[in-house]
Amino acid sequence: MAIYLVVCATPPVLFWLASKTPAAVAALRRRREPEPAGPPIERLAADLRRVHRCLADLAPDAPMLRRRATHQAYDALLVQACAALGLPHWLDELPEGVERDIERLRVEEALRRAGLAVP
């Protein structure tokens, strides 16, 4: 009688396990894949274009505080984009001035070469 139960129960149990295997494997893969750290690159590119337009549209008589805040926001977005693409930058290390402006241009060009549409 016990052998009869084993013979009858084994095939349905094996088929049930086989049907659940792909879902279990997919769940294990999802656990192992790292979560992206930071916003999606598409959103970074859109934010870069938006803040760059704000920089270009600043009036010559705009307050210095607004001008610096906009530049800092743009630099922060450039740093995030570099981190997302694995590009080196020195925007955090350089003081405000010509050297930082040159580094900003270099980073923009490096992002363009990496395929990110920045102005």
The residue with greater pLDDT, 6 or 62, is 62
For 54-89, write each residue's pLDDT tens digit.
Answer: 999 998 899 999 999 999 999 999 999 999 888 999
Q: Is 38 left (phi over 0), alpha (psi -120 to 50) or beta?
A: left
Question: Mean of the per-residue pLDDT values for the chain?
Answer: 86
8 Å CB contact between 76 and 52: no
Distance CA 16, CA 21 (A): 9
Q: Is 64 exposed, middle or buried (0-12, 13-18, 19+ CB in 10 A)?
A: exposed
